[in-house]
Structure 1
Amino acid sequence: MPRLPLRTMLLVAGLTGASATLCLAEESPPTPEQARFFETKVRPALVEHCTKCHGATKQKAGLRLDNRAGVLAGGDSGPAVVPGNLEESLLVTAISHEDADLKMPPSKKLDARLIADLSQWVKMGAPWPGSDETSGASAGPTPRKGAFTISDQDRAHWAFQPVRRPPVPPVKNAKWLTNPIDGFILAGLEAKGLSPNPTASKQELIRRASYDLTGLPPTPKEVETFLADRSPTAYEDLIDRLLDSPRYGEKWGRHWLDLVRFAETNSYERDNPKPNAWRYRDYVVRAFNRDLPYDRFIREQLAGDELPGADAEALIATGYYRLGIWDDEPTDREAAFYDGLDDLVATTSQVFLGLTVDCARCHDHKLDPIPQKDYYRLLSFFRNINHYRNGGPTDEQPILADDEARNSYARLLRERKQQANAIQIELSALESEVRARLEQEQGGGVGFRQADMDDLHYRFYRDTWDLLPDFNVLKPEETGTLRRPFFDLSPRTRNEAFGFVFEGVLIVPEDGNYTFHLDSDDGSRLSVAGQMVVEYDGIHGTGEERTASVALAKGRIPIRLDYFQKSHGLGLSVAWAGPNFTRRPLSLTDDAEKAPDLAQLMQSEAKRILGPARAERYQQAKLALKELEKKVDPASMALCITEAGTEAPETFVLLRGNPHVRGDKVEPAFLEVLGGSKPAAPTLPPGAKTSGRRLALADWIAASENPLSTRVMANRIWQHHFGRGIVRSSNNLGLQGDKPTHPELLDWLAAEFIAQGWRLKPLHRAIMTSSTYRMSSKPNEEALAKDPINDSFWRFEMRRLSAEEIRDSILAVTGALNLKMYGPGVYPEIPPEVMAGQSQPGKGWGKSTPEEQARRSIYVHVKRSLLTPILESFDVPETDRPSPVRFSTTQPTQALAMLNSGFLNQQAGVLAARLRREAGEDTAKQVELALKLITGRPPAEADAKRGVELIDTLRSRYNADAGEALRSFCLVALNLNEFIYLD
């Protein structure tokens, strides 16, 4: 029998419209077993393999698989799932790869286990816990149709309401309350007929708190001290000590780096390094350690360079803008430019506001009240920033600690320029004297090839243009230094479709007006002292020279020439004239080639004409000039933001997101659903080099009146203590995001956050000293039946350690951990077979000493195309986009890494050496110490006995020597579940 789409079947049965809806809706809520099955097997599979292409931000073929309504509605091919019917469910057909035209994922078939799980879920009737309706319809809003409007209902959305501190609800069991947080949790539990779990043991609490605040296990000594402390404030004192630890910033800074897609390379094929990106990472760690108020943290990252009295830290903070991926060879440069801006809109809106504004790039937002114009209004705040260029003065700035250092550096640069100009004036005078004498001796009329330029470099490009491009954002094919002090096209490798940028120093002999002449085939632009003097752009031939005059002061002045050649011809002529000299060439000509070289004549004739003393002075002055030309390093450089000036370019809506099709012009403005106000005109200080727009945006985001910023951050803090946020979709508080399970608690936390001066540590303290946080993670059958996914927080959730926590804990228990802070990233050893998988094997991965390799994982160099294997195996997040949640998978490569990797086997040997060093040669004592280090508790007698028996068996049955047997035991102990799971 041919397969019929579900809608066709309903039509045949006479069930259409409301009847069809009722037919699908007659389902019971998921049972606890079904809910558990979905949350542990189905949802992780959909998230990992499906929602990247069929989720909230992208729906290929019109299909969305991140909510039940989308699954049942299906896409262009019809419903993805027909509950209870495998044959009619296209999802099952697609993942089984049975149909050659319908294979999902297209590149690789899912594991048989995942296919079986998804098939079983369909057989169950596709239960989806957490949906609003019994039919399983999505909790999200209905897609918008027709003219886009923002309704009163939109504006009434909970996240768009002002933050107000709600009263703590009354509860029956008031004795359980430690602080207001508990009142909100207990009220919800009592309403569902549930009770909170008992308090965790002190043993569990110190391990939990240590990992939550520092990412490291407590030492045996710390555990013993805490267990022996009978003070009523022992636990509170523990929390204070951990918050004061420098390890706190390393742990919580890592959470922030996940959000801002931190990496130290650009991605794509070459994946070249971003210069000094590690300074941003260090800034984040320092900011968390000193409990920098979050509103200041926002302002420094978005507009640190525009803040009054901005210091070096504020400048480093703007490295935030430079962390995204960057294509050094884009096919469509205009599209790549807007992709870079889109990355900033997406990251800024999701991280700081918890909204997917980036969904409105091509059209009005389908679900949230965000029109397309709002997207481009937000984009316009970033429109004036200099596009990332992978280094150079628009990407890097010197780090200077304070105003005194900055003024000193500026003074040094001025002095060096003045000295260089003074030396150049002396050199020019001596050269003029020799030139005049030689002309007199040779009867006049002899032309000399004079060096009017110095230190001349080039960048060569291959491509086709109709107008001069912005070469600064393009990757040159080749760079070099010109042999002669003239603009010269000879370094080209082709005669068509190429471009050059020449940069050097123009030697101006005296104050006065100078005329420049420019002729080219095709486009060219001459700039002197940073200002365009004459331009001859477009496709044309030579023969129509253009001129322009400009007043210049004597000395050494920067000069630049941009040039491109498309086809059918080749030509460049640049010349100048000024006081006391007629036209002289700046580009290489046949006459200039034939003329005697004045620089060579100075070598042979200066002593005769000037005399020995003055000739020696000439040579000394040349050397002194070279010394002054050396780059001044004020201390170090920071990757940071810069702008193109005080006037921002215009911003237009791009129709369907196409950068080549402009729509209406827009001005900077804030989100319409939150009032849509426009920023006040900025008051820029004298000498400002920016538009001030970013500071206006930062001030709006960091305002106490903004209803989103504090809610988003309070939710994130809760998430990282409890494993999930009060709003599970922590980057999306909009209409399509998950609803808060405890909205009043979230508002109380946000209000408390503001009341505490936007500081995180008081909020940590309030959360961690609550009875809610101190609950046990033990199961409870009644609670599991009523609330299998712990929506009501009836217990503390057990969790697996994060990738960094696992690696750092291994180093900590073996005694190898190096707690050195800050500085450039370190390079753990990576197996050659992993390196071989790179497009350019081994490139960009340095070597670090064993001591450096043993530093905390936050200091490991983050190369987008080459993640450290032990971290990648345990779900370190991708770095191309914000990662608000760490997924915790269970897969074979984890076991292989923990048992077979060189890192684990090497660290097992280090741990064995520690045991021999601290416990002597007594096997029982070695086992006891190992288990105490690894589990954080004294081992049970049976556990210790098993460890001794393992070592004895390895020695007797497998003839392992004592050292190898102990190392093998250490490897097994490091693989204990209790080591990498936290109660």
Structure 2
Amino acid sequence: ALDLTGLPPSPGDLERLRRDPSDAQFDRLVDRLLASPAFGERMAAYWLDLVRYADTVGYHGDQDHNATPYRDYVIDALNDNKPFDAFTVEQLAGDLLPNPTHEQKIATAYNRLLQTSHEGGVQAKEYLTIYAADRVRNVSAVWMGATVGCAQCHDHKYDPYTAKDFYALAAFFADIDEAQHFKVGTNSLPTKRPPEMAALSRVARLQLDTLEQERLRAVAEGPPSKVQALDQAIEQLRNQSARLVMVTQSIPAREIRLLPRGNWLDDSGPIMQPQVPEFLGHLETEGRPTRLDLARWLVDPHQGAGLLTARVMVNRLWYLLFGQGLSRSVDDFGGQGEAPSHPELLDRLALEFVTSGWDVKHMLRLITSTRTYRQASLPTAWQRAEDPANRWLSRQNRFRLPAETVRDSVLSVSGLLVREVGGASIKPYQPAGYYRHLNFPPRKYVPSRDANQWRRGVYIHWQRQFLHPMLRAFDAPSREECTAMRAVSNTPLAALVGLNDPTFVEAARALALQCIEQGDAATGDDRACLTAMFEHCTGRVPTADQLQRLEHLLGAARAEFSHSPEQALRSLEVGLFHRPSSHSPVEQAAWATVARALLNLSDLMMRN
């Protein structure tokens, strides 16, 4: 469940597996998880790392930009199991397809996700060079697992990519209108925005379709007053739900030259035409090759780099399911990368990916159906001695969950998680003054003041220069560059966040109230309630020693809050969650203390 949806298994799923641990029951669970809307959210979080999605421009003032409909596109595409080759083409060149749909135009926001500057004094020529290099680095990293960025100043030292290859790839993106990123005329004029279009979430589109169907029936059958009322409702929904999204707008291609040593001031290099890396083949087109030609080449297994793309992506799917890829260098398939531990398996899976029609869900279903995936992660003494890094897959791996999954798991077990899919970014609680050095213009962080506070982590506002402290403590990237594998640290910061972050404190209060009202605490059976709370959080029954420690913690918390009831009241005021209860503040605060301890167990931080 954590691997495929980023959420802990439901009590119902655990009970079904306890009653029937057969492969058939496990297969049915996998099918349910793949069909869940949470699947797209989980997989989207990883894709957004790859394409360096953020809600802000990155450079200088790090102002907001409009990109959230692109995130919705990714989630919907993954939930709909859009073939990966179509997924690729729509993002790189959806605007160049014949009669592109609204969705395909939104997909081209991929080309707008790079770091940009809206500062008035930048040199346009310098930043056009920076943007071109950024795009080459990202496309080559995401689809080819290559470090082509090393060839910006000189031929690659370890791989056969040349500086000529680098600037030929940059030329594919020379038709993207970049002028909007720079001031026009004097610095007193406002910065122009990128080309934008209005976008509705999937829920809003469905609501709009329903209202428009009702309007058609009203025109045929109902009174004019009903038609007028429906017109107002439709207009209101459009105004409330529409969000702007940056899109790609093609213009006549700019001249791209090979820059000696990457120096943007030196125009002495030759003019480059769009072309793929020379050692990987040659694009034959009637006219100037376009982004559409590049996108199709990347997923063409016969005349293009499709098999390389397939190997790169399958290795990353394996990484998501095992915590490490068959090649552990999931971001570098070049000469400096680590060779795969099972090269024949990687090749076989890549061929399966292509022949399945680039079916992501099929590949995940295939891998999770294997005995290798379904092994336990607890190593034996022999495995520790003979295969300490588990390169021979003698067991499953145990690894720390991504930041968003940690937060989602805590909200899920507490009952606070809001499962609404798609929409604008949300702002969790954040320490006051955290944005004090964020200027041009100065900004004041205003956290979400409604149920959006408890939505999934994939929707958190991603401020590149000042990433949310909880995300930073759990090693989420700033998304300035492609991140194929997040770093994992082990510092006290993560524990301090788990104990003191208002989201975690609030979730503990909700969990405590849920348990003492539904459990046996009201009757004075602390052991039964503690056992139920522990099992609810971890999916397993506590040992006698664990239960004894929880009883001691509960007793100590009761004594402390009885001595200082005002402290109990203060602890219950954290966050937006408030529900009347017949239990005293002292009792609620004591049980919340136990819940905070449980929510900080490794069971909710680790994938076992």
Q: TM-score under structure 2 normalisation?
A: 0.83
Could you say which residue in structure 1 is the equivalent of 2:265? 660
Is 1:968 aligned to 2:593, yes or no?
yes
Deviation (angstroms), 1:837: 4.8
CA-based RMSD of the aligned residues comes to: 2.4
- 1:229-308 maps to which residues of 2 (within 5 A)? 229=20, 232-275=23-66, 277-308=67-98
Q: How many residues align?
A: 534
Instruction: Provide the rounded CA distance (Å) in 1 between the counterparts of 2:516 and 2:390.
Output: 45
Match of 1:681 in 2: 286
Report whether the alignment pairs 1:642 with 2:267: no
- Distance in 2 of aligned mates of 1:388 and 1:310: 23
Instruction: Give the Å deviation of 1:229.
Output: 2.8
- Partners of 1:312 and 1:859 in 2: CA distance: 22
The one-letter code matched in structure 2 to 1:703 is: D
| 8 Å contact from structure 1 (residues 388, 395) kept in 2 | no
Query: Which residue, 528, 544, 556 being the options, matches 1:925?
Result: 528
Structure 2 match to 1:464:
none
Q: 1:669 aligns with which of 257, 275, 279?
A: 275
| Per-residue deviation, 1:820 | 0.8
Aligned partners of 1:306 and 1:692 also within 8 Å: no
Report the alpha carbon displacement of residue 874 of structure 1 after superposing the two structures with TM.
0.6
- The equivalences for 1:745-894 within 5 A come to 745-839=345-439, 843=443, 845-894=445-494
Amino acid at match of 2:110: Y
Cα shift readout 1:49-79 (whole Å, capped 9, x = no counterpart) = xxxxxxxxxxxxxxxxxxxxxxxxxxxxxxx
Cα gap change, 1:821 to 1:633, in 2 (>3 Å): closer
SS state of the match for residue 651, structure 1?
A: coil
Deviations 1:322-361 (A, max 9, x none): 1111122354331111101111000001101111111111
**C-alpha offsets along residues 466-516 of structure 1, whole Å, 9 cap, x if unaligned?**
xxxxxxxxxxxxxxxxxxxxxxxxxxxxxxxxxxxxxxxxxxxxxxxxxxx
Query: Residue 638 of structure 1 aligns to a residue in which SS?
Result: strand
The aligned counterpart of 2:232 is none
Please name the residue that 1:396 is paired with: 196
Pairwise CA distance, 1:394: 4.8
What is the SS of the residue equivalent to 1:848?
coil
For 2:104, the equivalent position in structure 1 comes to: 314
Q: Name the SS for the 2:588 alignment partner.
A: helix
Residues 335 and 658, structure 1, Cα contact 8 Å, conserved in 2: no
Amino acid at match of 1:665: I
Q: Measured at CA, do residues 388 and 808 of structure 1 come closer, stay the same or move farther in structure 2, by a change above 3 Å? A: farther
Tell me the alpha carbon deviations over residues 672-726 of structure 1, each in whole angstroms, 9 at most, x when there is no partner: 1112x134035xxxxxxxx771101111111122231111111111111111111
How many angstroms apart in 2 are the aligned matches of 1:651 and 1:982?
Answer: 47
2:258 counterpart SS class: strand
Alpha-carbon separation, structure 2, partners of 1:228 and 1:865: 49
Matched residues, percent identical? 35
* SS of structure 2 residue aligned to 1:809: helix
* Contact residue 816 and residue 854 of structure 1 kept, 8 A: yes
- Is 2:17 the partner of 1:217? no
Give SS of 1:367's match.
Answer: coil
Offset at residue 363 of structure 1 (A): 1.2
Judge conservation of contact 1:312–1:400 (CA < 8 Å) in 2. Answer: no
Aligned runs of 1:62-461 on 2, under 5 Å? Answer: 210-229=1-20, 232-275=23-66, 277-329=67-119, 331-387=122-178, 389=180, 394-399=194-199
Q: Evaluate the alpha carbon distance shift between residue 743 and residue 952 of structure 1 in structure 2; reply closer, same or farther with a 3 A threshold.
A: same
Alpha carbons of structure 1 residues 298 and 317: separation in structure 2 relative to 1, 3 Å: same
SS at match of 1:727: coil
Q: Deviations over 1:573-611 (max 9, x none)?
A: xxxxxxxxxxxxxxxxxxxxxxxxxxxxxxxxxxxxxxx
Kept in 2: contact 1:669–1:679 (CA 8 A): no
Structure 1 residues 914 and 841: CA distance shift in structure 2, 3 A: farther
Structure 2 CA distance for aligned equivalents of residues 845 and 821 of structure 1: 24
CA distance in 2, matches of 1:882, 1:971: 34
Match of 1:937 among 516, 526, 540: 540
Alpha-carbon distance in structure 1 between the residues aligned to 2:243 and 2:457: 24
Residue in structure 2 matched with residue 714 of structure 1 by the alignment: 314
Question: Structure 1 residues 310, 796: CA separation in 2 closer, same or farther (over 3 Å shift)?
Answer: same
Letter in 1 for 2:270: D
Task: Write the mapping of 1:453-602 to structure 2, written as runs, cut at 5 A.
Answer: none
Gaps of 5+ in 1: 1-209, 406-631, 683-690
Task: Name the SS for the 1:389 alignment partner.
Answer: helix
Corresponding residue of 2:578: none
Distance 1:395 1:942, change over 3 A: same
Tell me, which stretches of 5 or more residues in structure 2 are unaligned?
A: 182-190, 206-238, 564-585
1:695 aligns with 2:292: yes
Task: Give the Cα separation in 1 of the matches to 2:444 and 2:47.
Answer: 25
Asked whether the equivalents of residues 293 and 757 of structure 1 are also in contact (C-alpha less than 8 Å), the reply is yes
Distance 1:899 1:397 in 2: 42
* The 10-residue stretch of structure 1 (847-856 or 812-821) with the greater mean CA deviation from structure 2: 847-856
- Does the C-alpha gap of structure 1 residues 865 and 232 become closer, same or farther in structure 2, counting only changes over 3 Å? closer
Distance 2:468 2:150 in 1: 32
Deviation per CA, 1:754-795, whole angstroms, max 9, x where unpaired? 111101111101110101101111123333233322222222
TM-aligned CA distance change 1:940 to 1:338, over 3 Å: same
1:787-807, CA deviations, whole angstroms, 9 ceiling, x for partnerless residues?
322222222110111111110
Q: Partner residue of 2:209?
A: none
Partners of 2:376 and 2:26 in 1: how far apart?
15
2:61–2:438 Cα contact (<8 Å) kept:
no
| 8 Å CA contact 2:530, 2:547 repeated in 1 | yes
Q: Is the CA contact 1:398–1:634 (under 8 Å) kept in the aligned structure 2?
A: no
Following the alignment from structure 1 to structure 2, what is the Cα–Cα distance between the partners of residues 885 and 839?
31
Q: CA deviation at 1:651?
A: 2.1
On the 8 A contact 1:875/1:887 being kept in 2, the answer is yes
**1:649 CA drift (Å):** 2.8
Structure 1 residues 226 and 841: CA distance shift in structure 2, 3 A: farther
Question: Comparing both structures, which one devotes a greater share of its residues to helix?
Answer: 2
Deviations 1:719-743 (A, max 9, x none): 1111111121112111122111111
Alignment CA distance shift 1:892-1:855 (3 Å): same
Q: Which structure's CA Rg is the greater one?
A: 1
Distance in 1, matches of 2:444 and 2:249, equals 26
Describe the shift of the 1:964–1:656 C-alpha distance in structure 2 as closer, same or farther (beyond 3 A). Answer: same
Counterpart Cα distance in 2 of 1:644 and 1:934 = 55
- CA 1:825–1:232 in 2, change beyond 3 Å: closer, same or farther? closer
Q: 1:338 to 1:780 in 2, by over 3 A?
A: same
Q: 1:858 Cα deviation (Å)?
A: 0.5
- Residue-by-residue CA offset, 1:154-209 (whole Å, 9 max, x unaligned): xxxxxxxxxxxxxxxxxxxxxxxxxxxxxxxxxxxxxxxxxxxxxxxxxxxxxxxx
How far 1:915 sits from its partner (Å)? Answer: 1.4
Give the CA deviation at 1:939: 2.7
What's the TM-score once normalised by structure 1's chain length? 0.52
C-alpha separation between the residues in 2 aligned to 1:859 and 1:244?
Answer: 20
Conserved? CA contact 2:69–2:243, under 8 Å = no
Say if 2:69 and 2:244, in contact at 8 Å, map to a contact too: no
Please report how far the alpha carbon of residue 833 of structure 1 lies from its aligned counterpart in structure 2 after TM superposition: 3.9
**Per residue, is there more strand in 1 or in 2?**
1
